[in-house]
Structure 1
Amino acid sequence: MAAKSNKLQTSVTIKYKDGVNESGKDVIKLQKFSKVKVTASDDSIYNTAKEIEKLLGKSLVELIKTDENDITNA
Structure 2
Amino acid sequence: MAAKSTKLESSMVLKYKDGTDKNGKDKIKKLNFSKVKTSAVDQDVFDVAKSIETLLGKTLNELIRVDQNGITNA
Structure 1 residue 71: Cα displacement = 0.2
TM-score (norm 1): 0.98
SS in 1 for 2:35: strand
SS in 1 for 2:23: coil
* Within-5 A mapping of 1:1-74: 1-74=1-74
Q: CA RMSD in A?
A: 0.5
Amino acid at match of 2:38: V
Structure 1 residue 52: Cα displacement = 0.4
Structure 1 residue 44: Cα displacement = 0.3
Q: Among all aligned residue pairs of Structure 1 and Structure 2, give the percentage whose two residues are the same amino acid.
A: 58
TM-score (norm 2): 0.98
- Runs of 4 or more, structure 1, over 6 Å off, are none
Extract unaligned runs of 5+ from structure 1. Answer: none
Give CA-to-partner distance per residue, 1:11-63, whole Å, 9 cap, x none.
Answer: 10000000111111100001000110000000000010001000000010000
